[in-house]
Structure 1
Amino acid sequence: MSPLQPPHQPGLQSPRHPASVDEAVDVTVPVTVDDHEACPATALLRRIGDKWSPVLLSLLARRTHGFNELDRSVQGLSRRMLVRTLRSLERDGLISRTVHPSTPPRTEYALTDLGRSLRDLLVTLGQWAVVHEGELETARARYDAAS
């Protein structure tokens, strides 16, 4: 059972995780390591919480990009990490990769429909962060002063 389980299970459901999309989610107690690892939100938060995925999703939300374009577009992102992040995003179905048979071969990356739906949520999260930035800074300063 996932740690994020609704109290009741009607509506849209996943075979592995019967949480309804429209219901509030409760956390089962105790939360075991297996519960945490099996929760679909855990994997998603790891993906969007890494250093480069949100940046690449934002770039690809605008238009398709070639590999070299992406490489030039993000300072501080090594080619090795770019390849790794693109592969992970492709594996999760958030981006697509198309290899054009030319000399040399040209690879293009694009956001999938699934990636666009996640991008919409990331935009909302980013807007929340901007609106509440001052409150977060005040809370951090208060906490740091008390510690």
Structure 2
Amino acid sequence: MFQGHNDVPVQVDAVAAEGDSPDSSLDQACSVLTVLNRVSGKWAIGILLLTTRRPMRFTELEREIDGVSRRMLTLTLRNLERDGLLTRTVYPTVPPKTEYEATPMARELYQTLLALTDWADRHRDAIAAAHETYDEQSTVAPSGARMQLRE
């Protein structure tokens, strides 16, 4: 299971490159979309940013990532480990100590994630203003069509 909406229809013609069979291009596109969905998931970005700085224990991640449930943290950690973006080290102590650390592949992704989060931070006010403007100017007509109100 992974985060995000993955039931988006993809047109084979739009994805197919010249010389590729439609099935092979669709498989490649789905693979890329799967990877992008995984690393851009709500909790994955925070986990990857934190574990790139230093190895972290589950409880540390839980405290640092505001709003994540234990279940979602567990699922996201498993998925990132499965994708080769995290390593999980269990130390034979009592109680067992488990640490998560970003792999070299995730460290390569780090700068891109920083750029993405920096962009979101720089534009958050503009996006909020756009939301307000859109919500003020738009209503949903009974037929489901969008109407723009004019004064």
Deviation for aligned residue 1:2: 8.9
Report the equivalent of 1:73.
64
Q: How many angstroms apart in 2 are the aligned matches of 1:132 and 1:69?
A: 29
Unaligned runs of 5+ in 1: 9-15, 18-34
Higher relative contact order (CA 8 A, sep 6+): 2
1:144 lines up with 2:135 in the alignment = yes
Deviation for aligned residue 1:87: 0.3
Deviation for aligned residue 1:132: 2.7
Unaligned runs of 5+ in 2: 1-11, 139-151
* TM-score, L = length of structure 1: 0.67
- The alignment-based identity, stated in percent, is 41
Q: How does 1:1-147 map to 2 (within 5 A)?
A: 3-4=14-15, 35=26, 38-147=29-138
Deviation for aligned residue 1:49: 3.5
Deviation for aligned residue 1:52: 1.3
Structure number with larger C-alpha Rg: 2
Paired residue total: 124
Deviation for aligned residue 1:105: 2.1
Query: Cα RMSD over matched residues?
Result: 3.0
